[in-house]
Chain A
């Protein structure tokens, strides 16, 4: 009994129950729509785990949403709702593309240059939100929503200006190869590399057929670093204190306004980094005219929520999210089930994440009952 209570108290239990609920509701909807739900979910798992290539793709696609998830989770800790991750992500892609096209240094200067410009662009963009909030008291949700759209049109503007626009396409030129961050990019495209990979089907599957890149390593390292930063440093403590109770923090001598600004700068930098790494690590390595948001920032919201705003949790939530989306594509092509079932499933998981936060409280009620029984 004590063991059950202990298990119920763990946040991961709630999350797993929420995920199972998501699958359950999705299979009910599939059955109602006349599909074989067990077969569909089977196809989904097969789509993800059958080949090394698809696992690699899930990891690649998870990189940006782990980072935007981190960005949202970080701002959450300071009590800020960073719905602007999408815009910060877009600014990251824009400046990575600009620098990637304009400059062509050796890779070990070029790659950091491109990535840091994306990061700084995102940070400044997030900083605007923080500044307007701390200086004028304007709600971060409004400014973020407006800035998201401004970023979208800015991206379209860059994609169509004559300096960057590639004729006869809807996008910009591809960034210089020196900025690419794919694993062993030089080697795998060289003659020796191709010859070697011909004989190794596993490696050729994940290296030649995907854009496997170093981004995921950066994402994981950053998640661990942010976790450490928030829990073990004075600055991290200040940021969390502002999130928990800004009046008490002010009273304790913490500069609330400054911390709001800093929090948004860092959150913005994380989203900007996500954008920059997408440009350097994944084809097509450019930006194109878009009419709606691609959703890497907005998906970060769901990732952060599923992860319960835990930086380390964002890694797993990002992988789950990316796996579901990837599996959803094979569901559509193989069973003919509309891939939107995945959106419903993710939505349901997030919905139950909100509900299952109550499970630890349930454990308390349980414990009281057990305690009473023992006392008798």
Chain B
């Protein structure tokens, strides 16, 4: 029984980590007033860039940072279009979801002789207890990737910045009432630019957390919908860092249940079992969460002088 619980915890953490990175990206962007529907695309390009650099350079950490950089570059597109040009953020986000995977697969075919998957990276990101720490005890399932810890630190950091620093207050005010923030001397455009680019960097990290820690290469399906789940987690968590973190954990937990239940001899068909995380999410939403209200200026371009 204890073994099973520990296995469930291990799988929960493994599954939720890429989601947490994506969700934190969503939280910071949306709290500053820019809807980021492009997380899926940013995660995909990050997953590819991470695997590419990880393979050619051989250093997973460099790959991890390259992933963040590539996600940030895509986010810059969103920032320019939606902040400077005041374009519709939903449309730009969707375009990024087309451009990101398209670019990743295009470049993959160019660099890997027409293959849509990269070669496996020689070194993955380290595990927290080292490679041979607990290999023969039941706690070996808890020997999770270092990204799990990073994701938790990231969520805590975001919480601290939002609620304990003046920078956080500025971000929140820009997301709630940009005109008021502007009259107090806060540079609305600058803050939104920074938040959106950081959002892309986080999402890129999330992609790399998949291709450099969970698996060791990029494939066309390695990011299939995680970005959208992360987006749902943001709304589920009511746009707060730990709310979104909890939503990701819940989702990872449901995935772990699917795997553990699927391993035991249950009479439920695997396809029905696979629906569990999604059904569970909806039920939890109905029973406990209910109406979620977005930051007031979320999705609204800020025009100087408008009321």
Chain A residues near B (Cβ < 8 Å): 29, 33, 81, 83, 132, 136-139, 141-143, 145-150, 153-154, 156-157, 160-161, 291-293, 301-302, 305, 338, 340-344, 346-351, 353-355, 357-358
Closest to B110 in A: A33
Task: Give bound CA distance, A148 to B277, whole Å.
Answer: 12
Task: Give bound CA distance, A357 to B89, whole Å.
Answer: 12
Q: Contacts A81-B90, A305-B94, A351-B81 hold; do A149 and B225 have CB atoms under 8 A apart?
A: yes
- CB of B292 closer than 8 Å to a CB of A: yes
- CB of B152 closer than 8 Å to a CB of A: no
Task: Give bound CA distance, A291 to B290, whole Å.
Answer: 31
Closest to A358 in B: B85
Q: A33-B110, A142-B236 are in contact. List 20 more A-B contacts (CB 8 A).
A: A136-B286, A137-B290, A138-B289, A138-B290, A142-B281, A146-B232, A146-B278, A146-B279, A146-B282, A147-B278, A149-B277, A291-B224, A292-B221, A305-B94, A338-B110, A340-B101, A340-B106, A342-B102, A348-B95, A358-B87
Task: Give bound CA distance, A206 to B97, whole Å.
Answer: 34
CB contact list, B36-85 vs A, under 8 A: 77, 81-82, 85
Q: Contacts A137-B290, A141-B235, A142-B281 hold; do A357 and B88 have CB atoms under 8 A apart?
A: yes
Secondary structure class of chain B's binding surface, majority of residues: helix
CB contact list, B270-294 vs A, under 8 A: 271-272, 274-275, 277-279, 281-282, 285-286, 289-292
Task: Give bound CA distance, A44 to B286, whole Å.
Answer: 49
- Pairwise interchain contact B106-A347, C-beta atoms closer than 8 A: no
- CB of B161 closer than 8 Å to a CB of A: no
Residues of B within 8 A of A156 (CB): 271, 274
- Min Cβ gap A173→B in Å is 18
- Pairwise interchain contact B221-A150, C-beta atoms closer than 8 A: no
- Min Cβ gap A267→B in Å is 16
- CB of B228 closer than 8 Å to a CB of A: yes
Task: Give bound CA distance, A33 to B105, whole Å.
Answer: 13
Contact of A154 among B94, B232, B275 (CB under 8 A): B275
- Min Cβ gap B80→A in Å is 9
- Pairwise interchain contact B92-A153, C-beta atoms closer than 8 A: no
Task: Give bound CA distance, A138 to B288, whole Å.
Answer: 11
- Pairwise interchain contact B94-A291, C-beta atoms closer than 8 A: no
- Pairwise interchain contact B235-A142, C-beta atoms closer than 8 A: yes
- Pairwise interchain contact A136-B81, C-beta atoms closer than 8 A: no
- Min Cβ gap A74→B in Å is 16
Q: Contacts A139-B292, A160-B269, A355-B87 hold; do A150 and B99 have CB atoms under 8 A apart?
A: no
Closest to A308 in B: B91
Contact of B105 among A83, A161, A340, A351 (CB under 8 A): A340
Q: Contacts A139-B235, A156-B271, A357-B88 hold; do A348 and B99 have CB atoms under 8 A apart?
A: yes
Closest to A355 in B: B87
Q: Contacts A344-B99, A344-B103 hold; do A146 and B281 have CB atoms under 8 A apart?
A: yes
Task: Give bound CA distance, A145 to B37, whole Å.
Answer: 12
- Pairwise interchain contact B229-A351, C-beta atoms closer than 8 A: no
- Pairwise interchain contact A354-B81, C-beta atoms closer than 8 A: yes
- Pairwise interchain contact B282-A143, C-beta atoms closer than 8 A: yes
Q: List 21 A-B contacts (CB under 8 A).
A: A136-B286, A136-B291, A138-B282, A139-B292, A141-B231, A141-B235, A142-B282, A145-B225, A148-B225, A149-B275, A153-B274, A161-B269, A292-B221, A344-B98, A346-B98, A347-B97, A350-B91, A351-B96, A353-B91, A355-B85, A358-B85
- CB of B4 closer than 8 Å to a CB of A: no
- Pairwise interchain contact A351-B278, C-beta atoms closer than 8 A: no
- Pairwise interchain contact B271-A154, C-beta atoms closer than 8 A: yes
- CB of B114 closer than 8 Å to a CB of A: yes
Secondary structure class of chain A's binding surface, majority of residues: helix
Task: Give bound CA distance, A153 to B278, whole Å.
Answer: 10
- Min Cβ gap A81→B in Å is 7
- Pairwise interchain contact B221-A137, C-beta atoms closer than 8 A: no
- Pairwise interchain contact A157-B94, C-beta atoms closer than 8 A: no
Residues of A within 8 A of B103 (CB): 340, 344
Task: Give bound CA distance, A5 to B269, whole Å.
Answer: 62
Residues of B within 8 A of A348 (CB): 95, 99
Closest to A291 in B: B221
- Min Cβ gap A126→B in Å is 15
- CB of B304 closer than 8 Å to a CB of A: no
Contact of A354 among B95, B100, B101, B105 (CB under 8 A): B95
Residues of B within 8 A of A143 (CB): 282, 285
Closest to A344 in B: B102
- Min Cβ gap B184→A in Å is 28
- Pairwise interchain contact A343-B98, C-beta atoms closer than 8 A: yes
- Pairwise interchain contact A351-B109, C-beta atoms closer than 8 A: no
Q: Contacts A153-B275, A355-B85 hold; do A145 and B228 have CB atoms under 8 A apart?
A: yes
- Pairwise interchain contact B231-A354, C-beta atoms closer than 8 A: no
- Pairwise interchain contact B99-A351, C-beta atoms closer than 8 A: yes
Residues of B within 8 A of A150 (CB): 275, 278-279
Contact of A357 among B87, B269, B278 (CB under 8 A): B87
Residues of A within 8 A of B289 (CB): 138
Task: Give bound CA distance, A357 to B106, whole Å.
Answer: 29
Residues of B within 8 A of A354 (CB): 81-82, 87-88, 91-92, 95
Residues of B within 8 A of A293 (CB): 224-225
List the 9 closest pairs (A to B, CB-CB), nearest first. A343-B102, A347-B98, A137-B291, A347-B99, A351-B95, A157-B271, A350-B95, A354-B87, A354-B91
- Min Cβ gap A290→B in Å is 11
Task: Give bound CA distance, A367 to B176, whole Å.
Answer: 35
Task: Give bound CA distance, A171 to B153, whole Å.
Answer: 45
CB contact list, B121-177 vs A, under 8 A: none
